[in-house]
Amino acid sequence: MRYRLFGRRAATAAVLTALSLAPAVVRADPPDGYVFHSYDRGLARAATSNKPVFLYFGREGCGYCDFTNKNAFADPAVRRGYQEHFELVYVDSESGRRLRLPTGERITERELGVRFKAFVTPVFVFLAADGEPILKRIGVQSADQLLSYHRYVSEGHYRSRTFEQFSSGDG
């Protein structure tokens, strides 16, 4: 849902800017100590920074998200690496908040979850700066796993080998 903040005659640009700054509504629980962005803003930032996007599908009350937040995302090395090398995007997979896909299509965060088949939470998707999917992981993750994904994506290994090859030392 888009919310009117300045009245119907406000300029579109002003509304969009205000929306990006507005307090989150109907949002769930990203991990503490991280700066997550909306999907639109995260992809826009990636287009400028050329950093990969880390996409976190959660939902309010999600036990396995909570577990992963407290036991893996709380790790200082994970926090440092993800904050520094990724554009972080959090998507509430039950939310009706609207976003714009790179194709121009307008859908809700819930529908983005349908597209990425986020049928459970958490689901983590790493995207290249142009929005192309690199790696998808489902469910609880450890700090070591998150750090391994971080190396695979941020160091560009995904360009030459699968994650399975990378993690087994092949290729």
Partner 1 sequence: MAKGAWWFAVLLFPAVVSGQPWEFESPIAVSPEASEGIFHHLDASGRRHVASHHGSIVVVWEDNSESSPAVYAAIMPVAGLDFTRVRISGRGEAFEPVVTSVGEDAFIIGWEEDGAVWTRLLRGTTPGEPLMLAEDAGQLCLETGPSGRDVYAVWSQRRQHYHHIRSGRIALARGVPLLQETRWVDDHHGGADQSHPVAVYHQGLDALLVVWEDRRFRNTVLMSAAGTPAGRFSIPMQVNELGPPRAADYGRGTGVARAAAAAHDDHVVAVWADKRHFRFGYDIYAAVARYSGRFGDNGLVQDGFAEGFEQWHAGISSGGGRLAVAWDDDRDGTSDVWLSWQTPSGWSDDLAVPGAAGPGNDSHPALALDRAGELHLVWTTRAAPDAPTRLWYLHGRLRAGASTP
Q: Note the residues at the interface with partner 1 (CB under 8 A).
A: 1-4, 8, 25-26, 59-67, 70, 93-94, 96, 98, 101, 103-108, 110-111, 114-115, 117, 119-121
Sorted by sequence, the CB contacts under 8 Å of residue 92 that are 6+ apart come out as 26, 27, 28, 58, 59, 60, 109
The least distance separating partner 1 from the CB of residue 97, rounded to whole angstroms, comes to 10
The least distance separating partner 1 from the CB of residue 151, rounded to whole angstroms, comes to 27
CA distance 153 to 42: 17
CA distance 23 to 45: 19
Residue among 33 and 102 whose Cβ is closer to partner 1: 102
Residue among 8 and 159 whose Cβ is closer to partner 1: 8
Residue among 2 and 80 whose Cβ is closer to partner 1: 2
Closest CA to 53 of 93, 86, 100, 92: 86
